[in-house]
Amino acid sequence: MNLPPYAELLGITAETGEGAPVLAMPFGADVVGRPGFVHGGALAGLLEMAAIVALKHALEKEGRDDTRVKPVNVTVDFMRGGREKVTYAQGKVTRLGTRIANVEAAAWQGDRERLVASARMNFLLANPD
C-alpha cells in the first residue's frame, strides 16, 4: 500500500490484517511536541491517514478503487498525551454512500482500549470521470 508523502515524513507504516490496515507511527524527532510527548498535529495527521486508508480499503472491496476522496471536515478529540513509544491508529468506515463517506479513527499506544486520540471525518467521493 502506498502512503502519501506526509505519512512517509512522519514515518508511518501500514500493517495489513483483518479489516482496515493498522498504521504505526514511531516516536522520534519528526513527531515530538513538548519534551517526551507526541505533537498533537502529528497525532491528527496519523488519524487522518488512518481514516483515508480505511476508506480506500472499503472502496477497493466494493470495486470502486478509482474513486477520489476529498476530506470535507475533521474533528479530533485528544484523550491523553502520547508518550515516547509507537502510536497505532485504525480507521472504521461508518457510512459509505455514493457521494459521501463518514469515517472514525482511533489512536492508541500499547493498550487499544486506552485511546490517545480519536477523530471523525467526512469525505466527498468523486468519480474519476
**pLDDT tens digits, residue range 106-128?**
999 999 999 999 999 999 999 87
| Stretch 22-37: mean pLDDT | 88
Q: Is the pLDDT of residue 67 over 90?
A: yes
CA-based torsion, 47, 49, 51, 54: positive or negative: negative
- pTM more than 0.85: yes
The CATH number of residue 89's host domain is 3.10.129.10
Give the model's pLDDT for residue 127.
Answer: 81
Q: pLDDT-based confidence at 19, cuts 50/70/90?
A: confident
Cell 483515508, located at residue? 52
What letter represents residue 99's amino acid?
Answer: R
What is the Cβ-side half-sphere exposure of residue 15, based on CA atoms within 13 angstroms? Answer: 8
**Residue of 128 and 75 predicted with greater confidence:** 75
Domain, as residue range, for 53? 5-126
Rounded to whole angstroms, the Cα distance separating 12 from 119 reads 17
Percent of the chain past pLDDT 90, that is, above it, reads: 74
Q: Is the pLDDT of residue 129 over 70?
A: no
* Number of independent structural domains in the chain: 1
CA angle 109, 113, 116 (to 5 degrees): 45
Longest dimension (CA), the chain: 48
DSSP one-letter string for 29-89: TTTB-STTSB-HHHHHHHHHHHHHHHHHHHHHHTT-TT-EEEEEEEEEEE-S---SS-EEE
Q: Is the pLDDT of residue 1 over 70?
A: no
